[in-house]
Structure 1
Amino acid sequence: MDEPPVDIVDRHRANCIDAAPEYCDTCAGSGANVEAFVFAELPSGLSVTYCAHHGTIYLERLREIALVLIDHRHLVVA
């Protein structure tokens, strides 16, 4: 990950991420509980969460469309 982390917070809205860990929406489809590191709120009002792997895949598109985008991939411990 050569680019700096994205940490955009829309301070005009009352959005927050709970203290409990959230899991990747894509990995959950296969029954895996993989911790999420990328969080986005879409214009439709829906929120999506992705692990570092899927967050990297979808990040470019999320940057284009998300109202709120929080990228914490830099917190992944190898």
Structure 2
Amino acid sequence: MHPATARQAADRLDRSPITIRQWARRYKARVLGRAGREVVYDYDDIATIEGCIWRGDPVPLTPGGRDELRAQLARAA
């Protein structure tokens, strides 16, 4: 797991922090805690959501489902 706030994830993925927060809420992204006033997400989970959206694939509904998808994609690569 790689921790990232919405702002950090947005910078890495070239998206807005608002978009990251919306995805996190919509897909129940894994939350690792807080850094001051900001929520810290599992960056790998957020990046998987972004990848599914970018490819036009359905986004797995749970963090566990997204973990499994990442493992499948890693094995295929």
- Aligning the two structures, in what range does the TM-score lie when normalised by the shorter sequence? 0.3 to 0.5
Structure with greater helix percent: 2
Q: Normalization by structure 1: what TM-score?
A: 0.33
TM-score (norm 2): 0.33
